[in-house]
A and B are shown apart, each in its own frame.
Chain A
Amino acid sequence: MQPILSIQGVSKNYGSIQALNSVSFEVPQGCVFGILGPNGSGKTTLLSIILDILQARSGTYSWFGKPGSADTRKLIGSLLETPNFYHYLSAVDNLNITHAISGRGDAADIDRVLEIVKLSARKKSKFKTYSLGMKQRLAIAAALLGNPDVLVFDEPTNGLDPVGIAEIRELIKQLARDGKTIIMASHLLDEVEKVCTHVAILKKGNLLTAGPVDEVLANEDIVEVSAQDTVKLKQVLASIPGHTHLKEEGKAIQLFFPIGTANMEDINRYCFNQGITLNQLLLKKKSLETKFFELTND
């Protein structure tokens, strides 16, 4: 299947600072693609390039198999960095401009998206009277206008309160269930882990890894075990064949195996035969946070 977005060798400099260094990856159709990275890693720069706000020094990108253009951008609902609206206009007037430029949605759809983001009651208020969270909601409403198949969100939960964050997270999951392709930049790892199917991790403009979340996270098997006698358990586990290393994690011990080689039954049997009865045996996935720090720490 043709990818929704294909990025090939995109580089960008700000003077002597290399913001992006030959970044390449593809975004498959129907996925929720998280772009992760610490502050200043190049996430917003990358999104700005694929939305034609910034010019790449080199490299190319294509949307829907075609070079990026005004016509391809009309098919994409985007929220880049901050909510950008005319301060003296109301929510409805601002969305009318979004509609007029993009061709997405109509008057009824404007009401629909304002309802989704819970701004219907303030739809005639001027943008300048909105709180930060309301401005962010309006930006999400603008992105949703016309129900586009592809959405680009840069830090979509910026400025929202905890309830708002949960609502937007649920909205993103719902959009994903509806088959939308969502490209989302964030430095909130928890947020990305909860909603993304694919991930790309950037650091100082370099792409460290990209792919399905399971593949990116699972480069080793982690088995967490515990027993009454932790000291003896540790001695027994140290002699289990095939593991690379082990680590104490509170009252439990984590055993690390090369990916796909951990056999839970064998571990259980081995411990039992050595006189240890396990009260916990769990194959764990590495958290995105762990992986992120592994990759981005110098």
Chain B
Amino acid sequence: MLSLIKIEWLKIKKYPAFWWMLVIVALTYPSINLMFLNVYEEISKGKEMGAIAKMLLGNPYAFPETWHSVAFFSSFFIVLPAILVIMLITNEYNYKTHRQNIIDGWSRENFITSKLCDVLIISTIITIVYAIVAAGYGFYTDSKTFYRWAEQLEYIPLFYLQTFAQLTLAFLLGYLIKKAFIALGIYFFQYLIIENIGVSWFKYKVGNDLGRFFPFEISDRIVPPPAFIGNFGKDAKAGYEKAVAAVPEHVIMTIILTAAIWFICYRVHKKRDL
């Protein structure tokens, strides 16, 4: 495993798209959260309205809620590392190095394991960036809540699992489709359009919650919207509590789906012509 990671590092460390992705993520995650923080600070500035806003919102960027809020808002940008994951697998097809790696002495299992390592490494990097941003805002926004930094730390592994699961879906598309642009197109179409429309359609037209079984939606619900969302009315409170209660179920479904995808990739790669 370690030797596979070393070899993948030889491939990645001089790949410009990897560093670009890292820079863009490192800029995007703090920026999107800064935007929401500014909105919060703006509406909680006035004396009367500010008091109401603070009561309703809490401070979503103070400890411990920062772990939750930053995870939720940052997860919108999973598409950035997803582009990298798709490029890393489709590059292998494009350069035919998926064949050369085998010719040189990898087994077919080694190849898929190496790609699994890529997805794990990228998920780890993304999670580290998230954790730094969340901790940074926690320390920056409210010094009175520092002592609560260790609460809600479960959002770190939840964010990691969500990232890994959604990057696994990106990998699957790249692996099966082989062409970067088509895979990226399908990824965006599914993630941004099909699932949003599908989930709303099931919820508002059909009147059930079957939309939660869409591939991305399964792991999307691992990190529910931040707690302040539940303070906007009775229905919102009930909705928030329902979303939180459903997290364990979605964690299990995410693990099963993700494991199944990797299992299928191993099986397919063992049998197919390269």
Contacts and interface: CB of A to CB of B under 8 A. Distances in A.
Q: Chain A, interface size: which category?
A: 20 to 34
A54 B273 contact: yes
Interface in A154-182: none
Contact of B7 (A55, A89, A100): A100
Nearest to B110: A70
Given A69-B107, A71-B105, A102-B105, A53 B10 contact: no
Contact of A97 (B10, B15, B102): B10
A82 B16 CA distance: 25
A102 B100 CA distance: 11
B234 interface: no
B213 interface: no
Interface string A80-91: 101011111100
A96 B11 CA distance: 10
Given A70-B110, A84-B99, A93-B10, A98 B104 contact: yes
Chain A contact residues: helix, strand, loop or mixed? loop
A78 B99 CA distance: 11
B23 interface: no
Contacts of B102: 51-53, 70, 73
Chain B contact residues: helix, strand, loop or mixed? helix
B208 interface: no
B11 A86 contact: yes
Given A84-B97, A87-B95, A101 B105 contact: yes
B101 A86 contact: no
Interface in B58-105: 91, 95-97, 99-105
Contacts of A96: 10
Contacts of A101: 7, 101, 104-106
Contacts of B99: 53, 80, 84
B274 interface: yes
Interface residues of B, number: 27
A243 interface: no
B250 interface: no
A53 B95 contact: no
Nearest to A87: B95
B47 interface: no
A87 to B, nearest CB: 6
Given A69-B107, A100-B3, A100-B7, A93 B101 contact: no
Given A82-B96, A97-B11, A53 B103 contact: yes
Contacts of A82: 96
Contacts of B6: 100
B100 A84 contact: yes
A74 interface: yes
A54 B274 contact: yes
Contacts of B273: 53-55
Contacts of B274: 53-54
Contacts of A73: 102-105
B144 interface: no
B95 A84 contact: yes
B271 interface: yes
A85 B97 contact: yes
Contacts of A80: 99-100, 103
Contacts of A40: none
Interface string B15-44: 110000000000000000000000000000
B112 to A, nearest CB: 13
A51 B103 contact: yes
Contacts of A69: 107
Contacts of B271: 55
Given A70-B105, A97-B10, 18 more contacts: A52-B102, A53-B102, A53-B103, A55-B272, A69-B107, A73-B102, A73-B104, A73-B105, A78-B103, A80-B99, A80-B103, A82-B96, A84-B95, A88-B14, A88-B15, A88-B16, A93-B14, A97-B11
Interface of B: 3, 6-7, 10-11, 14-16, 91, 95-97, 99-108, 110, 271-274
Instruction: Enumerate the 3 nearest inter-chain pairs by beta-carbon distance, A residue then B residue, closest first.
Output: A74-B105, A84-B100, A84-B96
15 contacts: A52-B103, A53-B99, A53-B102, A53-B103, A54-B274, A70-B106, A73-B103, A73-B105, A74-B104, A84-B99, A86-B11, A88-B15, A89-B11, A96-B10, A100-B6
